[in-house]
Amino acid sequence: MKPAPFAYLRPSILEEALAALAGTQGAKVLAGGQSLVPLLSMRLAAPSMLVDINALPDLDHVTSDDDGVRVGALARHADVLASSGAAAAQPLLAMALSHVAHPTIRNRGTTVGSVVHADAAAEMPMVLRLLEGSVDVASVRGRRTVPAAELFAGPLETTLAHDEIAVEAFFPALGPGAGVAFQEIARRHGDYALVGAAAHVETDGDAVTRARVGYVSASDVPVVVDVTDAVTDPAGDPAAAALAELEPAGDIHASAAYRAHLVTVLTPRVLADATDHARRRAGERSSA
């Protein structure tokens, strides 16, 4: 259980990191290492070089305003979870982050690293998709913004080029009249979820105008399903609508049938919670 040899660079300016990634075949970014180092130790990954971004300046921010929350590439899960500004602008962040691993892992693992690691069993890639956020990436060719809908290409795979560094993730703020909820089933708190679900519901008065649910570990990529029709139709079945677009798989932790069952249980729960949340927020606004 030891990594294979690799070259190592710990640049203190972004341009140097980008040049090293562009100029070295098989080079990889090292952020918090909470996913990459186990892969190295198990020799499931053998990069030729690691470009450690932990000494780069000005990347550890968590800034919030009316538009949303901007999370720098070196902000740890724990920093985002502790940010009261982030919790106020987009409550789903803290709801989901408290389920990401254990506090010890959250002290080191970065939220941006988790997003670009693109694990379908991870909470934050799904959250970015559900919230219709984006990631800012840099390379020797310049900067670009990748919307979440265009980020995830396959299991553990994004559309980022091998020499691009994700410098910031943007999670939009929760709009007026909208509500969110998150629930997951895991064997122990802090373990990867057997299945997790987050809902984002928009309301106008008593009416639901849009309802979407994102799923963790219910397909091999982060999936978000629009269930507005099933929610607004009195005879509709949002969980069945969701299952039609999911492909739960079986493994040593749970069978495919059990995962499908959890989708059926969690979908109505998170939709009800998010709808309540939206109405409470609307109530607070009108009484304020």
Ligand X SMILES: Cc1cc2nc3c(=O)[nH]c(=O)nc-3n(C[C@H](O)[C@H](O)[C@H](O)COP(=O)(O)OP(=O)(O)OC[C@H]3O[C@@H](n4cnc5c(N)ncnc54)[C@H](O)[C@@H]3O)c2cc1C
Q: Which residues bind other proteins (CB under 8 A)?
A: 1-8, 10, 30, 33-34, 37-38, 40-42, 50, 52, 54-55, 78, 101-105, 107-108, 188-190
**Interface residues for ligand X in 159-218 (CB under 6 A)?**
165-166, 192
What does 123 interact with, of other proteins, ligand X, none (CB < 5 to 8 A by kind)? ligand X
Q: Which is nearer to ligand X, 136 or 202 (CB)?
A: 136
**Least spacing, CB of residue 210 vs ligand X, in Å:** 26
Buried b (16+ CB within 10 A) or exposed e, 37-65: eebbeeeebebebbbebeebeebeebebe
Q: Binding partner of residue 19 among other proteins, ligand X, none, CB under 5 to 8 Å per kind? A: none
Residue 128 in the binding site for ligand X (CB under 6 A): no
Place of tokens 């679900």: 197
Query: What's the CA angle centered on 41, arms 35 and 46, to 5 degrees?
Result: 85
Binding ligand X (rule: CB under 6 A), the pick from 110, 217, 267, 275 is 110
Question: Least CB distance from residue 177 to ligand X, whole Å?
Answer: 29
For residues 258-274, b (16+ Cβ closer than 10 Å) or e, as one string? Answer: ebbbbbeebbbebbebb
Burial call 74-88: b when 16+ CB within 10 Å, e when fewer: bbbbbbbbebeebbe
Q: Of residues 100, 151, 195, 224, which one binds ligand X by CB under 6 A?
A: 100
- Judged by beta carbon distances under 5 to 8 A according to partner kind, the member of ligand X, other proteins, none in contact with residue 3 is other proteins
Q: Which does 228 bind (CB under 5 to 8 A by kind): other proteins, ligand X, none?
A: none
101 scored as a contact of ligand X (CB under 6 A): yes
For residue 216, how many C-alpha atoms fall within 13 Å in the half-sphere facing its CB?
A: 29
In whole angstroms, give the CA distance from residue 128 to residue 170.
Answer: 8
Minimum distance, C-beta of residue 224 to ligand X, in the bound complex (Å):
16
Quick one: what does residue 31 bind among ligand X, other proteins, none, with the CB cut-off 5 to 8 Å set by partner type?
A: ligand X
